[in-house]
């Protein structure tokens, strides 16, 4: 896929549309009634009375590397339950300074308010992956902040991969090695959601599961937007201060033989406030991904055939976001 027009959903600079002060959402962005967002729980048969009463788990990582074995075991257990029951969780006390998170988020907010000609200097397809000359030069210190942010988030992803691996009953490096070791395909995507005149009719991002390995999202600290599917309901995530939102991607679902599962999520928009979020994707690179042999048994046979992440990503991109149907369609015939 060599340009943005190859993506199956319409891609137009919605920031420009928003700034033109339209009173209505253009027809091409209006979702079918069953796909339109709701802030409250929509299923009368659900056990959740209101999405206001529910949030994804919040895990304090502060004691993960301390000397208290009981506390460490408790943290591992909390993450295990979150992975099994939600596919999403938030982490606090993760080791990255709040000042870096705030500056990283605000740099990108400033970037999106630059003149269009300045923003267009930033390349979209990163080839090579880390060419600083292709990164935005404005706002000031942008490149230095982004570089430090990326370095620290990669380290945090590595620590979380060890936790997931241990919780699967594997050696702490087994998942990382299955990703290709340290040669991972990290990628930062910054999302800007401008104000929308009719947020009840559209979405900032359609329902999907993340095709990669693991995602760390730094959400907007002022505006909610991420919704996670929970049964028949959509739960609006309430971000904890300076927390990362972590979610399992399709590649870890495959490696774990569906012990861990990626979960559908989407983004709603807001009529009064814009929103900025930073999604960091931690992906395998250039290696076939299939269920780990340690997790395949006669009672739980291998559910997926081997496929590289690039092959899977192309498969996804030619079809567009379609909930969980993409990864489920790849299950091996039984």
The half-sphere exposure of 51 on its side-chain side, counting CA atoms within 13 A, is 22
Span of 45-54, 138-147, 195-204, 260-269 with lowest mean pLDDT: 45-54
Between strands 265-267 and 244-248, the pairing is unpaired
Between strands 88-92 and 58-60, the pairing is parallel
Cβ atoms of residues 93 and 60 within 8 Å: yes
| Stretch 10-33: mean pLDDT | 70
CATH tag for 54-123+133-330 (out of 3.30.565.10, 3.40.190.10, 3.30.390.30, 2.60.120.330): 2.60.120.330
pLDDT at position 45 is 36
Bond prior to 139 in cis (omega within 30° of 0): yes
What is the per-residue pLDDT across 286-326, written as a single tens digit (0 to 9) for each?
Answer: 899 999 999 999 999 999 999 999 999 888 877 766 677 67
State the chain's mean pLDDT as an integer: 84
CA dihedral 220, 221, 227, 233 (to 10 degrees): -170
Residues 6+ apart with CB under 8 A from 317: 1, 6, 7, 8
What is the per-residue pLDDT across 152-172, written as a single tens digit (0 to 9) for each?
Answer: 999 999 999 999 999 999 999
What is the per-residue pLDDT across 202-254, written as a single tens digit (0 to 9) for each?
Answer: 998 889 999 999 999 999 988 999 999 999 899 999 999 999 999 999 999 99
* Domain ranges within the chain, ordered by starting residue: 54-123+133-330
Does position 28 have pLDDT exceeding 90, yes or no?
A: no
Q: What percent of the chain has pLDDT over 70?
A: 81
Does position 7 have pLDDT exceeding 50, yes or no?
A: no
pLDDT at position 15 is 56
CA distance 200 to 203: 8
> What angle do the packed helices 142-167 and 98-112 form, to 10 degrees?
120
What is the per-residue pLDDT across 119-148, written as a single tens digit (0 to 9) for each?
Answer: 666 643 344 456 666 666 667 788 889 889
Q: Which residue has the higher pLDDT, 133 or 193?
A: 193
pLDDT at position 61 is 97
């Amino acid at each position: 896929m060599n340009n943005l027009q190859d993506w199956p959903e319409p891609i137009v600079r919605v920031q420009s549309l928003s700034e033109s002060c339209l009173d209505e959402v253009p027809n091409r962005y209006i979702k079918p009634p069953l796909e339109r967002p709701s802030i409250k729980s929509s299923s009368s048969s659900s056990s959740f009375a209101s999405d206001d009463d529910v949030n994804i788990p919040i895990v304090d990582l502060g004691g993960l590397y301390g000397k208290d074995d009981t506390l460490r075991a408790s943290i591992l257990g909390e993450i295990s339950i979150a992975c099994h029951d939600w596919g999403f969780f938030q982490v606090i006390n993760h080791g990255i300074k709040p000042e870096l998170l705030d500056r990283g988020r605000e740099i990108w907010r400033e970037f999106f308010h630059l003149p269009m000609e300045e923003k267009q200097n930033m390349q979209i397809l990163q080839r090579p992956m880390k060419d600083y000359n292709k990164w935005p030069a404005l706002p000031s210190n942008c490149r230095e902040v982004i570089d430090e942010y990326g370095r620290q988030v990669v380290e945090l992803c590595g620590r979380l991969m060890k936790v997931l691996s241990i919780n699967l009953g594997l050696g702490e490096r087994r998942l990382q090695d299955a990703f290709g070791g340290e040669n991972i395909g990290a990628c930062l995507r910054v999302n800007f959601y401008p104000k929308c005149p009719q947020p009840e009719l559209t979405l900032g991002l359609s329902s999907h599961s993340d095709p990669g390995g693991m995602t760390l999202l730094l959400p907007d600290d002022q505006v909610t937007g991420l919704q996670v599917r929970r049964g028949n309901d959509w739960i609006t995530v309430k971000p904890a201060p300076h927390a990362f939102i972590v979610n399992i991607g399709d590649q870890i679902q495959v490696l774990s033989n569906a012990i861990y599962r990626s979960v559908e999520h989407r983004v709603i928009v807001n009529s009064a406030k814009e929103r900025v979020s930073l999604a960091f994707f931690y992906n395998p690179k250039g290696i076939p991904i299939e269920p780990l042999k340690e997790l395949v048994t006669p009672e739980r046979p291998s559910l997926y055939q081997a496929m590289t992440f690039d092959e899977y990503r192309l498969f996804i991109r030619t079809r567009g976001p379609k909930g969980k149907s993409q990864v489920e369609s790849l299950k091996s015939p039984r």
